């Protein structure tokens, strides 16, 4: 049941983010009077499908994203061509109201071969189809501007006259239609960050414990010093933790108005190595792995393994490991470990400290297992969304830049596709749908918005690039050229997605 729950949460998150994106395109398309054939939430067969005005609104059975289908967004191409065998139905005044593409549909007014046609009607020219009918006569029929193609008895789509086509709109209108998809992702993230600021409040810059996850420390304890370093507030506590040299620390605290000394063990998280210490009592005094990342796990390390040496240097405590990790900038590491009284050696790629710092994170994190609490602050409520959004954008851009830096240790193989995102979302959901989970949703929304703005054909950013070319040269990119470039780029993106997803699956089962 847990897996089913996690899959449902993942699908709902992904569908919400993508549907919000598509809603941005939809709203601006409607405002620009572009014909929208369908706005759909989900994929696959529809559960509900209703038509309002010229647009179908659908809820589909597979909750995996969504889409908006605009007329002329991929070029103004008719679904018929000269030589096509079609049927037509006329309205009460003799205009074509339906063009039948499925020849098994027998209830048509006329059938025959297309000799000539214009279903685009630029500058409001009349639409027409000229046909050679089955009796050999040639006849020209005027076409309604709201006529429909019939694929079969259940599927239909409205034709695309010039005035209702995406391609007929001004550069500014087309830009807004394309840009509002990513913009809606940004707005979604901003709203979530705003709500987090209200619900969670501002972190208190205090040295009094509000909530403790460390059995040696109690809520209400006041941290006076850590290993002799005076701590008057949470900033002092963080600075002291940056300076500790061992996993065991000595704290002076004020408890029930009495000053006492407490020894406790910190948790050491090495984000550069993908390793973390263990706080279990039986592991004290040993370098036992209590947390492990994908690269270390793929190399053969497991939770509970004891680290003996790093790059040939013996380590006797997590303090020794900590001192190595703080100044580590190599892109690989060799670890000798012990499992079931047998020693073995592994070597794997790691992230350099400069890489971790480039995305706004610390290579090494030391945790005491408590927080100093939060309080509502009106000013912070309005500042935090901008701060969190800016951090998300910066991290995303920095990560993209690191992909092209051979010294970063980050490559295409480190990217995550749907399976990787599922793993991240499911991990967050296991702790409940709280602040951490919604922060991740907001971060993913920012990521999808930014990814779509990359100047890659087939993405919104690539199509905006074509608009920039048109604005500068005063010439449109030929519709067929744009279509071919978009299709080729889509195939390449799909190949990349398959590669990334296969890596995700391999990592998931290792």
Is position 174 within any domain?
Answer: no
pLDDT confidence of residue 41: 92
**How far is residue 295's CA from residue 437's CA, in Å, rounded to a whole number?**
24
In this model, does residue 419 exceed pLDDT 50?
no
245 and 334 share one domain: yes
The percent of residues in the chain predicted with pLDDT above 70, rounded, is 89
220 and 293 share one domain: yes
With CA atoms as reference, report the closest residue to 288 among 308, 266, 265, 312: 308
- For 201, the 3-state DSSP assignment is coil
pLDDT confidence of residue 422: 46
Per-residue model confidence as pLDDT tens digits over 373-406: 888 888 888 999 999 999 888 888 877 776 676 6
In this model, does residue 13 exceed pLDDT 90?
no
217 and 323 share one domain: yes
Please count the structural domains in the chain. Answer: 2
Q: What are the backbone dihedrals phi and psi of residue 322, each rounded to the nearest 5 degrees, phi first?
A: -60, -45
258 and 123 share one domain: no
Pairing of strands 138-150, 96-100: parallel
Structure tokens at 233: 């507030």
In this model, does residue 22 exceed pLDDT 90?
yes
273 and 338 share one domain: yes
List the CATH number of the domain containing 255: 2.30.42.10
Structure tokens at 460: 């919104």
pLDDT confidence of residue 352: 77
Is position 223 within any domain?
Answer: yes
366 and 256 share one domain: yes
pTM of the predicted protein model: 0.82
407 — pLDDT class (breaks 50, 70, 90): low
Is position 73 within any domain?
Answer: no
In this model, does residue 464 exceed pLDDT 90?
yes
Domain's final residue, options 371, 398, 418: 371
211 and 154 share one domain: no
**How far is residue 280's CA from residue 36's CA, in Å, rounded to a whole number?**
60
pLDDT confidence of residue 509: 55
Per-residue model confidence as pLDDT tens digits over 442-461: 988 998 999 899 888 888 99
The percent of residues in the chain predicted with pLDDT above 90, rounded, is 33
Give the Cβ contact number of residue 393 at 10 Å.
16
138 and 222 share one domain: no
* Range of weakest confidence among 209-213, 217-221, 482-486: 482-486
Is position 117 within any domain?
Answer: yes
258 and 136 share one domain: no
Is position 358 within any domain?
Answer: yes
263 and 116 share one domain: no
Strand ranges for 71-167 from DSSP E = 85-90, 96-100, 110-118, 127-133, 138-150, 156-158
Whose tokens are 């295409």? That residue is 412
172 — pLDDT class (breaks 50, 70, 90): very high
In this model, does residue 119 exceed pLDDT 70?
yes
Domain's final residue, options 371, 387, 416: 371
Per-residue model confidence as pLDDT tens digits over 341-378: 899 999 988 887 777 777 777 888 888 888 888 888 88
Domain's final residue, options 353, 371, 389: 371
Exposure on the CB side of residue 134, measured as CA atoms within 13 A: 8
244 — pLDDT class (breaks 50, 70, 90): confident
Is position 180 within any domain?
Answer: no
Burial 173-185, CB ≥16 within 10 A → b, else e: bbbbbbbbbbbbb
pLDDT confidence of residue 177: 95
As a whole number, the mean pLDDT across the chain is 85
List the domain range (segments joined by +) for residue 140. 85-159
Per-residue model confidence as pLDDT tens digits over 255-308: 998 999 999 888 888 888 888 888 765 656 688 888 888 788 888 888 889 999
Exposure on the CB side of residue 473, measured as CA atoms within 13 A: 10
Per-residue model confidence as pLDDT tens digits over 184-200: 999 999 999 999 999 98
Is position 326 within any domain?
Answer: yes
CA distances from 237 to 207, 357, 361, 434 (A): 7, 20, 18, 26
Is position 34 within any domain?
Answer: no
pLDDT confidence of residue 383: 92
DSSP code, position 509: H
302 and 214 share one domain: yes
């Amino acid at each position: 049941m847990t897996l089913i729950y996690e899959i449902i949460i993942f699908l709902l998150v992904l569908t919400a983010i993508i549907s919000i994106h598509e809603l941005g395109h939809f709203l601006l398309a409607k405002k620009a009077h572009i014909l929208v054939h369908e706005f759909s939430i989900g994929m696959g067969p529809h559960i509900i499908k209703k038509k309002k005005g010229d647009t179908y609104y659908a809820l589909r059975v597979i909750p995996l994203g969504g889409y908006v289908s605009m007329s002329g967004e991929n070029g103004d191409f008719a679904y018929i061509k000269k030589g096509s065998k079609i049927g037509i139905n006329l309205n009460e005044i003799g205009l074509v109201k339906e063009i039948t593409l499925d020849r098994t549909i027998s209830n048509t007014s006329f059938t025959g071969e297309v000799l000539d046609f214009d279903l685009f009607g630029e500058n409001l020219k009349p639409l027409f189809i000229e046909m050679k009918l089955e009796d050999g006569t040639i006849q020209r029929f005027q076409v309604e501007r709201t006529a429909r193609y019939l694929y079969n008895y259940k599927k239909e789509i409205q034709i695309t006259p010039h005035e209702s086509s995406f391609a007929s709109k001004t550069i500014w209108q087309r830009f807004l239609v394309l840009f509002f998809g990513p913009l809606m992702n940004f707005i979604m993230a901003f709203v979530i960050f705003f709500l987090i600021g209200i619900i969670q409040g501002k972190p208190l810059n205090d040295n009094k414990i509000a909530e403790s996850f460390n059995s040696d420390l109690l809520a209400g304890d006041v941290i006076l010093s850590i290993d002799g370093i005076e701590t008057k507030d949470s900033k002092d506590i963080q600075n002291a933790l940056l300076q500790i040299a061992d996993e065991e620390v000595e704290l002076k605290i004020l408890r029930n108005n009495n000053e006492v000394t407490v020894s406790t063990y910190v948790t050491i998280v090495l984000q550069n190595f993908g390793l973390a210490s263990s706080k279990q009592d039986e592991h004290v005094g040993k370098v036992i792995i209590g947390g492990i990342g994908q690269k270390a796990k793929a190399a053969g390390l497991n939770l509970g393994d004891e680290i003996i040496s790093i790059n040939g240097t013996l380590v006797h405590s997590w303090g020794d490991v900590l001192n190595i990790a703080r100044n580590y900038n190599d892109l690989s590491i060799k670890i000798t470990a012990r499992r079931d009284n047998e020693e073995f050696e592994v070597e794997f790629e790691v992230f350099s400290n400069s890489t971790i710092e480039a995305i706004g994170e610390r290579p090494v994190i030391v945790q005491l297992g408590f927080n100093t609490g939060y309080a509502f602050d009106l000013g912070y409520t309005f500042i935090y969304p901008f701060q969190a959004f800016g951090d998300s954008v910066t991290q995303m851009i920095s990560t993209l830049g690191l992909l092209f830096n051979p010294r970063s240790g980050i490559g295409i193989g480190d990217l995550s596709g749907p399976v990787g995102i599922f793993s991240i979302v499911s991990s967050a959901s296991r702790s409940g749908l709280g602040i951490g989970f919604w922060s991740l949703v907001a971060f993913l929304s920012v990521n999808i918005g930014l990814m779509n703005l990359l100047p890659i054909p087939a993405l919104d950013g690539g199509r905006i690039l074509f608009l920039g070319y048109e604005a500068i040269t005063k010439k449109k990119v030929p519709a067929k050229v744009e279509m071919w470039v978009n299709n080729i780029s889509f195939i390449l993106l799909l190949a990349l997605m398959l590669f990334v997803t296969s890596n995700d699956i391999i990592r998931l089962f290792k």
